[in-house]
Structure 1
Amino acid sequence: MRFIDQDEVRERLTYELCIPLVRQAMIAFSRGETRQHLRSILPLSEGRVLGIMPGALGEHAMFGAKLISVFAGNFAKGIQSHQGVVVLFDGESGAPVCIAHAGEVTAIRTAAASAVATDALARPDAARMAILGYGEQAHTHARAISKVRKLEAITVWGRDPARAKAFAKSVEVELGLPVFVASTVRQAVTGVDIVTTVTNAREPILEGAWLAPGTHLNLVGSSGAGPTEVDHEVVVRSRFIADSREGVLAQGAEFLRAKAAGLVDDSHVVGEIGQVLAGDLEGRQSRDQITVYKSLGHIVQDLAAAKALYEAG
């Protein structure tokens, strides 16, 4: 049994490795080559859940599951919000062969998936990004998306100005580009090409009326059917593409709220990013179109990342 700890995941699961891995995993997922169930989420208490995600990379390929807790209050304590393990089983013998640190795998592969979607859906000349939130996923998304677009500047917004400033300083040093702190969400998204939401907001903080034509959005912070980071207009105005269409129809909070309000129906989720990547679905249809990639995360992304680390020794 191989154990891959947090430090090893952080060191070896680079974006240069993870971005193409996730890209291929999402294509395979949308083609029906992988197997998985919808995530099972067990609420524990306010802001604390346990998630169980089983899946297989193919009929005789590696399979496994992610067991992960999400404790929203951990960030304030300097602890990862996502804690758990990814367990890999051999596809031929059925034996468990590897356990990997799920919090670090999740942090990196989630951002890698958003980078893949940004590369497919954002305008080719997109150069300015707003990040709503300043936690771990804000850092990983800044790193990942800078790999697929030549960013000129990043603007960050968060509820705590001191933490937003600390984030800005850290990313400026790491990526060597200017990072500005916005005092409001509206200010943050004004004049940008890419918006990435990675907050713990329970109710909408971003209004669709504030978005310029041609904006691409990665909606990441809400991973269940309750919390919502954006308002109905964001959903209605956009070409709405999921990581998993089945997942979004069941657990995508932003879409579900707009549907409950009678503003959209299931056809508004036009398809999956894997279909776009495979050339089976048109992504951005015009320069002025607003595009959304709704990220819930699915187990094949985690399994593909853990498998690559395991097989590389």
Structure 2
Amino acid sequence: MAAAPLYLSAAEVARLLEEPGLLPLLEVALGRFSSADGEVEQPVRSTVALRRCRGFLGVMPAYSAQDDALVTKIVRFYQAPDSSHLSTVLLFDPSNGVLKAYLRPPCLDVLCILGAGAQAMSHYQICTQIFPFKQVKVWSRTRERAERFAQRAAGPVQVCGSAQEAVSGADVVITVTMATEPVLFGEWVKPGAHINAVGGCRPEWRELDDALMRDAVLYVDSREAGICESGDIILSGAEIFAELGEVIVGKKPALCDKTTVFKSLGMAIEDMVTAKLVYDRWEAENRPKP
């Protein structure tokens, strides 16, 4: 009989990820995904639309031969301000059944975050740990949420009254909203800035306007997913320049002197690498002493 599955809470996962080591593994995983050598099997996310509830359920499987790891992420997304995302990552035994700054702009003084939820906070934490930003600005449609974000942040954060105010002069802009219409416009963006577009993960949703999508150099985590799932790409008709993994393995350049957009839809291979690292660390802590 198979052993009972191990369940790790969100708090335990966070503790096991406190020690550095995840980012280099994600870098390698993205490079392998874009190498198309058969080492990574990952279909585009399958979704079930919950139109009456304004949400969807997504299933994201992946297998890495090099890691000998099989994973499925189950995620639900609702357009609700207090509880938009909830996900579970299942790591299997295949035998029986979350980067370096490749697109960093030359100047890294001002960070702007549009959105103030859980994903906004995780992006704030990693960006301020890695990069020497001198100023952080945040905007949310609900000012109270932006003020709570600023209170929880580890350093000073300027709460802005409008998205345009937050974006003005920013070197890096991160969009982590539940918007279905653009909240970021090209005319606001400083030339040479970099945009991480994280929201807008459905074909009919978007965060960025046509001008920004067409004028910037567009990078994605997955071409296939981008042209199937990203409203920012589909509705603007923007041309994808490269997958980030292609930059990592040297197939395409990182054009950091230009305005760049990285459209991230999330990939199961990233969840697989993270889940395996968490499990390996838990196992090391709980392995019986000889």
TM-score where L is the length of structure 1: 0.83
Of the candidates 235, 241, 244, which is equivalent to residue 257 of structure 1? 235
Of the candidates 52, 62, 82, which is equivalent to residue 55 of structure 1? 62
Q: How does 1:194-233 map to 2 (within 5 A)?
A: 194-233=172-211
Of the candidates 40, 50, 60, which is equivalent to residue 46 of structure 2? 40
Q: Determine the C-alpha separation between the residues in 1 that align with 2:104 and 2:209.
A: 21
2:97 maps to 1:90:
no
Deviations 1:167-215 (A, max 9, x none): 11221xx1x3x21111111111111100000011110111101111111
Q: Secondary structure at the match of 2:130?
A: coil
Instruction: State the partner residue of 1:242.
Output: 220
Letter in 2 for 1:158: S
Instruction: State the partner residue of 1:303.
Output: 272
Q: Which runs of 5+ in 2 are unaligned?
A: 284-290
Provide the aligned length of Structure 1 versus Structure 2.
275
Instruction: State the partner residue of 1:68.
Output: 75
Q: Determine the C-alpha separation between the residues in 2 that align with 1:310 and 1:198.
A: 28
Q: Secondary structure at the match of 1:296?
A: coil
Alpha carbons of 1:213 and 1:246: their partners in 2 closer, same or farther (altered >3 Å)? same
Q: How does 1:1-313 map to 2 (within 5 A)?
A: 1-14=5-18, 16-32=20-36, 33-45=39-51, 46-58=53-65, 61-73=68-80, 75-76=81-82, 79=83, 81-91=84-94, 93-95=95-97, 109=98, 116=99, 119-171=101-153, 174=154, 176=155, 178-259=156-237, 264=238, 268-286=239-257, 289-312=258-281, 313=283
Moved more, 124-133 or 302-311: 124-133
Asked whether the equivalents of residues 106 and 256 of structure 2 are also in contact (C-alpha less than 8 Å), the reply is: no
Q: Secondary structure at the match of 1:68?
A: strand
Alpha carbons of 1:84 and 1:189: their partners in 2 closer, same or farther (altered >3 Å)? closer
Q: Secondary structure at the match of 1:282?
A: coil
Asked whether the equivalents of residues 103 and 256 of structure 2 are also in contact (C-alpha less than 8 Å), the reply is: no
- Percent of aligned positions with the same letter in both sequences? 31
Q: Which runs of 5+ in 1 are unaligned?
A: 96-108, 110-115
Asked whether the equivalents of residues 192 and 215 of structure 1 are also in contact (C-alpha less than 8 Å), the reply is: yes
Q: Secondary structure at the match of 2:77?
A: strand
Tell me by how many angstroms 1:124 deviates.
4.0
Q: Determine the C-alpha separation between the residues in 1 that align with 2:32 and 2:6.
A: 26
Tell me by how many angstroms 1:239 deviates.
0.4
Asked whether the equivalents of residues 122 and 291 of structure 1 are also in contact (C-alpha less than 8 Å), the reply is: no
Tell me by how many angstroms 1:238 deviates.
0.5
Asked whether the equivalents of residues 168 and 190 of structure 2 are also in contact (C-alpha less than 8 Å), the reply is: yes
Structure number with bigger Rg: 2
Tell me by how many angstroms 1:47 deviates.
2.5
Q: Determine the C-alpha separation between the residues in 2 that align with 1:126 and 1:278.
A: 24
Instruction: State the partner residue of 2:287.
Output: none
Q: Secondary structure at the match of 1:49?
A: strand
Tell me by how many angstroms 1:16 deviates.
2.5
Alpha carbons of 1:242 and 1:153: their partners in 2 closer, same or farther (altered >3 Å)? same
Asked whether the equivalents of residues 72 and 89 of structure 2 are also in contact (C-alpha less than 8 Å), the reply is: yes
Asked whether the equivalents of residues 109 and 135 of structure 2 are also in contact (C-alpha less than 8 Å), the reply is: yes
Q: Secondary structure at the match of 2:137?
A: strand
Q: Secondary structure at the match of 1:166?
A: helix
Deviations 1:228-251 (A, max 9, x none): 111001101100000001110111
Q: Determine the C-alpha separation between the residues in 1 that align with 2:246 and 2:21.
A: 21
Deviations 1:14-48 (A, max 9, x none): 37232222112111111122111100111113432
Structure with the larger helix share:
1
Tell me by how many angstroms 1:7 deviates.
1.2
TM-score where L is the length of structure 2: 0.90
Q: Which runs of 4+ in 1 moved over 6 A?
A: none
